[in-house]
Amino acid sequence: MEQKEKKQTVFSLIQPTGTPTLGNYLGALKNWANMSDEYDCLFGIADLHSITVPDFREKPAQLRKNTRELYALLLALGLSPDKNTLFVQSHVAAHSQLAWILNCYTQFGEASRMTQFKDKSAKHKDNITVGLFAYPTLMAADILLYNASYVPIGQDQKQHLELARNIAERFNAIYGELFTVPKPLIGKTGAKVMSLTEPLKKMSKSDENEKSYITLLDEPSSIVKKIKSAVTDSESEVLYREGKDGINNLIIMYSACTGQSIKEIENEFSGKGYGAFKSAVADAVVKELMPIKERYNQYIADKEYLDKCMRENAEKAAVRSQRTLNKVMKKVGFLQI
């Protein structure tokens, strides 16, 4: 009998810092559900990472609520817990254990060069913790625990993945080939969606202006209102061109939701003006997101099912991660009983 080829592992976590935006969805999350056909996928919620800044360190009830809601939303996106390992980071102790060990194999200079540490510490000058500094080492532990071949990442995480690769290579050079050196997942990236009010900025749920972003759980009326008020330009032609950042952004959104090419969109709306185009974009986004919202409402109402999924998937992740952790501890020289 022909042996089935083993799938390569893909790993990615998302922080429970609020409801993901349309940008998060079209840029990454929409692709996650389709990956399990080709890869062995581990997805989850990086709640340990979220306490590196004061926002959630000081709001434990909010962190718990966000974690449960995000788990329900990941299920609603089609991430079947039968086809994927879908877990909460803090439910698997090996992440914290390996992070400590890897801290001892990470150079201070490497960690201090991380751009996100510089940016976030600048925002919280009076409250900079060791956790914020060591955040990339925990991220490395997350990935290396499961010998992930690929990590789907955005531009802002490239530096962290490079550090994870450096740590893996350094560890392997000392102790032999133990960790898989992870690679960024190229070719699975989605649309880059920008702010509706400042189209030169990435869409972000942390933006103070709520009109600048759409979340996956926004009401249809809110989605329509935000898109119709989106910044464009003084022209009226629906064309993807340099200098037309607002319209370019809406074209990208419409293309990602409908599957149409930019040229097809330009032809469809030739001579129709921005009003008609914005209405069509709003309709396409509502059509894309409403089934997700409906499924989310079903999952979030079933606490028993959510808890069962979390427990079972944490157990799956724990078994896999413990195998790696045991090998690491033996290599380093910890006495095991």
How many angstroms separate the CA atoms of 163 and 7, rounded?
25
DSSP 166-193: HHHHHHHHHH-S-S---EE--S-----P
Which residue in 202, 226, 244, 278 is the catalytic one? Answer: 202
> Is position 205 annotated as part of the catalytic site?
yes
Angle at 159 between CA 200 and CA 171, to 5 degrees: 170
How many angstroms separate the CA atoms of 239 and 263, rounded?
9
Decide: 141 and 102 in contact? Cβ < 8 Å.
yes
How many angstroms separate the CA atoms of 170 and 105, rounded?
8
> Is position 331 annotated as part of the catalytic site?
no
Neighbours of 177 (CB within 10 A): 10
Which residue in 205, 211, 293, 331 is the catalytic one? Answer: 205
> Is position 192 annotated as part of the catalytic site?
no
Q: Please give the single-letter amino acid code of residue 38.
A: E
Give start and end residues of each alpha helix (H) in the chain: 22-24, 30-35, 47-50, 54-57, 60-76, 94-103, 108-112, 115-123, 130-145, 158-175, 220-228, 245-258, 262-268, 273-300, 303-332
Sign of CA dihedral 16, 11, 30, 310: negative
Decide: 279 and 250 in contact? Cβ < 8 Å.
no
Decide: 219 and 289 in contact? Cβ < 8 Å.
no
Measure CA of the first residue to CA of the last residue in the chain; give whole Å.
Answer: 40
Q: Which residues are part of the catalytic machinery?
A: 120, 202, 205
